[in-house]
Chain A
């Protein structure tokens, strides 16, 4: 309860700060919308020549793309801004101030800011997916919807843990923002069905950068390509990831020394 109240405060203050940079944030959103649009155009060009690619139909690929875009939005809204803050705070030593507050550091550090404008990505993604599901003339049954929500939530847990581990590395290496760039490049691969990639890359996208769990699995759940049992696997992976990353964070924190120490 207390955490929820705190989160509400974080949310309000974030919106207030964001309001100061309206033009920039709106142009960022237009830029990311355009990126979505060109990917859609590229895929629709490919699908004028064939009706299915590795078992995926055009509407199914569109659903996948909207899940990609949804995840991109959620990461940029909740996860990435906080993690970037932590990296900066470790570098200039201001993490001290967080450590002194009477709230668990991990909660405070990773839920502090919300990049509210990215909600546009989330809304566009939801719109695109419901539109394509309508076109798919698939009736999304209760089980399917449930599987989707569960796998999506599990995916959020996995990507959160992934970032937390990455950020914890700053305690030793100080500069990991370059690695962030490389990970975004790997994330790009998630916009297409992972079956189109060679086996080694598919494995890398499942186990190294967990793109498969956070994008492909929820998308397949929504289009009815996988059942509820997959959701269980996702939830287990997510729980383990959350636990391990949290332990790693606490371990890393011991190595943190203020800027002057």
Chain B
């Protein structure tokens, strides 16, 4: 345990230093995080206005404009906390052989990457905090934070981070076989965004689409904690939500081990 703490502390320090060298790229990622949810909010606010102030789904879920503001703001923050872009980075390393020196280190590259990801989240979240506060002030969301729900949401967010991270890492490992994975990643991001509720809240999805979204792994990666924080999920569904998360985490770990073992056999550095 002490060993792992030291490993992660060292990686965190390194990653934070690197982060400050790439301020502009960090800014662009942050903007990407804002644009989607705000566009979603704009279209749904306009739709609510046309409906005279609130929208009610077939299952009796009601959203007012302030509810949409709350949803998309919380979604924005949780998405930022759980998102990662490592899939792109990893493919790069495989292609130009940069992965080789990392393989010689005594810990698997994924540990460095996870630490890197945490550093990214810590640095950027601190930077974004005033912007989020400003958005809360400007958009006047209808939200009543309950301490209990936030405490329950913390482990849910933590699990969501891990699940999303593992799935993306697995996706990135396709680079061992195809080298060009940008398009596959883009495809994945599109599906992820839609099924996690970036364009519309899952509660408003009609029929079969709602069922798919409910059982998809993407709900465990972002939507579930959002629902907890907003208080939109009845308490008796918390347990099933966590069970889904644990299931997808297990699936992610299994897939990672499988792909890593296969990929290592496949991988040979340039010149080998």
Contact = CB atoms under 8 A, between A and B. Distances in A.
B46 A30 contact: no
B83 interface: no
A67 B129 CA distance: 37
A48 B209 CA distance: 13
B183 A31 contact: yes
Interface string B22-34: 0011001001100
A9 interface: no
B193 interface: yes
The main secondary structure of chain B at its interface with chain A is helix
A142 to B, nearest CB: 33
Contacts of A197: 42
A41 B46 contact: no
Contacts of A189: 35, 39
Given A31-B183, A192-B42, A46 B24 contact: no
A232 interface: no
B55 A192 contact: no
Contacts of A195: 46
A45 interface: yes
Interface stretch (A85-93, A119-127, A154-162, A177-185): A177-185
Given A50-B47, A188-B35, A192-B39, A27 B191 contact: no
Contact of A196 (B42, B51, B190): B42
A53 interface: yes
Contacts, number: 95
B76 to A, nearest CB: 14
Given A34-B187, A34-B191, A42 B47 contact: no
A45 B204 contact: yes
A142 B208 CA distance: 42
Contact of B183 (A30, A45, A47, A191): A30
A181 B33 CA distance: 13
Given A42-B200, A49-B204, A34 B190 contact: yes
B45 A178 contact: no
A49 B28 contact: no
B7 interface: no
Residue from the set B46, B184, B194 with the largest chain A CB neighbour count within 10 Å: B46
B131 interface: no
B123 interface: no
A185 B35 contact: yes
A39 interface: yes
B43 A43 contact: yes
Interface residues of A, number: 37
A38 B40 CA distance: 12
Contact of A31 (B42, B45, B186): B186
A94 interface: no
Nearest to A24: B180
Residue from the set B36, B45, B183 with the largest chain A CB neighbour count within 10 Å: B183
B163 to A, nearest CB: 21
A240 interface: no
Contacts of A28: 182-183, 186
Interface string B173-213: 00000101011101100110110000110001110010000
Nearest to B42: A196
B270 interface: no
B272 interface: no
B50 interface: yes
A23 interface: yes
A24 B204 CA distance: 35
A193 B39 CA distance: 11
Contacts of A45: 199-200, 204-206, 209
Residue from the set B47, B182, B184 with the largest chain A CB neighbour count within 10 Å: B47
Nearest to B189: A31
A138 to B, nearest CB: 21
Contacts of A259: none
A203 interface: no
Nearest to A195: B46
Contacts of B206: 45, 48
A118 B123 CA distance: 38
Contacts of A188: 35-36, 39
A54 B200 contact: no
B71 interface: no
A86 to B, nearest CB: 20
Contacts of B51: 49-50
B165 interface: no
B50 A31 contact: no
- Which 4 pairs across A and B sit closest by C-beta, in order of nearness? A42-B199, A27-B183, A196-B46, A38-B194
12 contacts: A24-B180, A34-B187, A41-B199, A42-B194, A46-B43, A47-B47, A49-B55, A49-B204, A178-B24, A189-B35, A195-B46, A196-B42
